[in-house]
Structure 1
Amino acid sequence: MHLSESTWTDADAVETDLALLPVGSTEQHGPHAPLGTDALTAEAVAEAGADAYDGEVVVAPAIPVGVAEEHRHFAGTLWVGEDTFRDYVRETIGSLAHHGWDRVVVVNGHGGNVAPLREVCARVTRHDDAYAVPFTWFDAVALDGDWTGHPDAPPVDLAEIAMGHGGPVETALVRAVAPDLIREERLDDAAAGAADAWGEWVAGANLAYDSAEFSDNGAVGDPRGGTAELGAWLRDRSAEKVATLLDRVAARDCSRPDDG
């Protein structure tokens, strides 16, 4: 059940303690993909995961602005600081828990949110009346697995597909769930101006803090390989993982060790 599409009486009738909270970002994804890519993909994965789960789960509205100051040089990018982001996520989880949905999987679609989400979900679990765990869909999908001969093998060799930023992976998922939002006529220019990899690495350290330091147009990776067919596979694979995670979260003993 998606809260945005439900009445309060619908919500009151739901018998579950499980919720999915999509979290994304509003930031540049090259000249070809929408600013809302990360929130859009997080919500699509959450909804597909709810459909794949054999049981009831509440899907909350997506949080659309995250920790994304690294993209501030590109128009339309919005961001908040980590403290603000953590507080917002924590209080949203608290709202869900108030209604009895106190086992929450945070479905994340933005790399800059990963570290603060891990911290805030731990804080919620340790100190609040809820259990929360973060799930980042592009980390969860096994892009380097051996799919040889597997009946559900992806439509391309995943060893040749890097995550990037506005690259083939994100472009593929947007093409699958909201194809009209990809500017197909800009894909060649996006590929021409894209960086080969994220950051400027020396001795294991990334010298660059902002994407404009290494990418002319904000993209990282060639988006032209991100087909809708690949996107549908990524969505379905992510949904399977969300469903598996919900099973484990539903069955988990959420009592905490005695601090005393």
Structure 2
Amino acid sequence: MQLAEATWTDVDDCDTDLALLPVGSTEQHGPHAPLGTDTVTATAVADAAADAYDGEVVVAPAIPVGVAEEHRQFTGTLWVSPDTFRSYVRETVQSLASHGFDRVVIVNGHGGNVDALKEVTGIVSRHDDAYAVAFTWFEAVGDHSGDMGHGGPLETAMLRYLAPETVHEDRIGEASAGASDGWGEWTSYVNLAHDSAEFTDNGVVGDPADGDADRGETLLTLAQESLVRLLETVATRDVTRPEHR
């Protein structure tokens, strides 16, 4: 059930304690892909899993702005502090839990959100009347995960499958030419770069030409299957907190 499309009476009749909360970002994805890429992909994975799950689950509206200051030099990027982001996510989960949807899987589409989501789901599960975990779709697509990059093959493939009209195909060559081969500038296992503009001319990491629509379909299927397995586990898990020992 899509919360944004349902009436309150519809939701009141919904017999489940499971919820999906998509979380994305509004940030640069090179000259060829839209700023909302991370929100589009996270929402699509959440919707696909909700459709495939054998049971009821509510899908909350996506949170479209995340922890993305690392892209601040690229026009149009929006960001909030990790503290603000964690608070917003936590209070959204609390509001879901107040209606009985107290087992929440956060479906994430942005790498910059990962650390904050790991922390906030721990806080929620330890201190609130809810249980929450975070699922990042591009970490759950098997061997494809190693090609993630940024505005690169995986995200471009997903967009070409989900929303091909949003991809500027005439700019793929430009995107590839200005891309970095990897994320960051590394010495002694330390990333010396704090902002993406330090190591990529146009914001792209990885070659978007390597991501076609067929690959996008495969990625969505893999992410959907992984998320459905997670939902099945969360639905039946004992989420009571252990006593002090």
Does residue 62 of the first structure (1) align with residue 62 of the second (2)?
yes
Determine the C-alpha separation between the residues in 2 that align with 1:35 and 1:207: 25
Percent of paired sites with the same residue: 66
TM-superposed deviation, 1:52: 1.2
Partner residue in 2 for 1:162: 147
Determine the structure 2 residue equivalent to 1:95: 95
**1:173-252 maps to which residues of 2 (within 5 A)?**
173-252=158-237
Counterpart-to-counterpart distance in 1, 2:62 and 2:214: 25
Matched residue count: 245
The aligned counterpart of 2:240 is 255
State the match for 1:35 in structure 2: 35
Partner in structure 2 of residue 128 of structure 1: 128
* Whole-Å separation in 2 of the counterparts to 1:49 and 1:6: 18
TM-score by length of 2: 0.98
Does structure 1 residue 106 correspond to structure 2 residue 91?
Answer: no
What's the CA shift for 1:162? 1.3
Q: Partner residue of 1:146?
A: none
Post-superposition offset of 1:259: 3.4
Please list every run of 5 or more consecutive structure 1 residues that lacks an aligned counterpart in the other structure. Answer: 144-157
Instruction: State how far apart, in whole Å, the 1-side matches of 2:218 and 2:52 are.
Output: 14
CA distance in 1: counterparts of 2:127 and 2:224, whole angstroms: 29
Structure 2 counterpart of 1:203, which letter? S
Runs of 4+ residues deviating >6 angstroms: none
In structure 2, runs of 5+ residues without a counterpart are none
The alpha carbon displacement at 1:13 in A equals 1.0
In 2: Cα distance, 1:104 partner to 1:131 partner: 6
In structure 1, how many angstroms separate the alpha carbons of the residues matched to 2:140 and 2:97?
A: 25
Q: CA deviation at 1:98?
A: 0.6
Q: How much does 1:9 deviate? A: 1.1
- The residue type equivalent to 1:140 in the other structure is A
Q: What amino acid does structure 2 have at the position aligned with 1:164?
A: G
Question: 2:46 aligns to what?
Answer: 46
1:17 matched residue in structure 2:
17
What residue in structure 2 maps to residue 75 of structure 1?
Answer: 75
SS of aligned partner of 1:198: coil
TM-score by length of 1: 0.93
Task: Please give the per-residue CA displacement for 1:59-110, whole angstroms capped at 9, x wherever unaligned.
Answer: 0000000000000000000000000000000000001001100000000000
